[in-house]
Structure 1
């Protein structure tokens, strides 16, 4: 495509023109579309987990299980909620001042930490659930098979989660690396 064709195509694209004030308003937390979605998901999860924590003790016989098993489940759920809050904070507090390369390097470091917390959070949540729901169960061969199926599903889920984070980190690392290399002149 020639430069003239590219310019013509660029100029023919219909875009809505935003004023600086409209853009500023969009970037505020309450109007930012991505943050709105994250916040909505966060509130749904907080409400869901809160309801679960209110009813698990009686509905799932938490009163018949040792205190440590109950604490493990509650801690796992709370750590999962903390992980979600950490993700919201990561999206909300993006550093945009300074050079792009430094900003991306800083963001890459934060995303690496968040990726580790994400995987650990999932492991802790499932460990808490398995400890709580398998405590005091008399295992038969069919229950062992069911437990094996659940463990296989969890392993697959964790490997997919880990692979997803590795791909995201690789893309971000490549973006930082591409900024470091000078582009060849034409």
Structure 2
């Protein structure tokens, strides 16, 4: 994204591009479209999960609290993604390119932090839901530890993706 924004900036004819045109270029950038596509995919998949989890994963055999925790956590991720999608669809506001990007970076940082936190909550609720009533053994303990390690790696990966996105936009501000 950084290189594309720099190239777009350098290719602009001097004095011919309005702030509105610059906002439009940033709004239609492929990285923003990819983020929106990812959010839509997650929303659809999580909504399908919510519709089928009770029957497919024996929600009737789990206590009300485990079901409520799972539904609340998954619904929170869906609401967070919908809010992110709406935010990403909004045109950037302002007359100065650097100020627009600075505000966008601040918003992305907030969204990234909430994104990682909401996924931690969702994964914890999934763990509670699926492990409720389970007879624990040493093997299942090791399996749980391995699962936690994989989840930690995925969350680290998600955090690094957001850091890279934010860093790319921030570099444009520094240039």
In our comparison, the structure showing a higher alpha carbon Rg is 1
Secondary structure, aligned partner of 1:137? coil
Take 1:110 and 1:80, find their aligned partners in 2: how far apart are those partners? 17
Compared with structure 1, are the counterparts of its residues 45 and 111 closer, same or farther at alpha carbon in structure 2 (3 Å cutoff)? closer
TM-score normalised to the size of structure 2? Answer: 0.73
Q: Which residue of 2 aligns with 1:71?
A: 68
Contact kept in structure 2, 1:86 and 1:114, CA below 8 Å: no
Give the root-mean-square deviation of aligned CA atoms. Answer: 2.5
Take 2:60 and 2:148, find their aligned partners in 1: how far apart are those partners? 26
Secondary structure, aligned partner of 2:136? coil
Q: Which residue of 2 aligns with 1:83?
A: 80
Gaps of 5+ in 1: 1-23, 179-186
Gaps of 5+ in 2: 1-20
Match of 1:159 among 153, 156, 161: 156
Higher RCO structure, 1 or 2 (CA under 8 Å, sep 6+): 2
TM-score normalised to the size of structure 1? Answer: 0.69
Take 2:97 and 2:160, find their aligned partners in 1: how far apart are those partners? 26
Deviation at 1:57? 1.6
| 1:37-73 residue CA offsets vs partner (Å, 9 max, x unmatched) | 6666555444432332222223212112221111110
Deviation at 1:176? 1.9
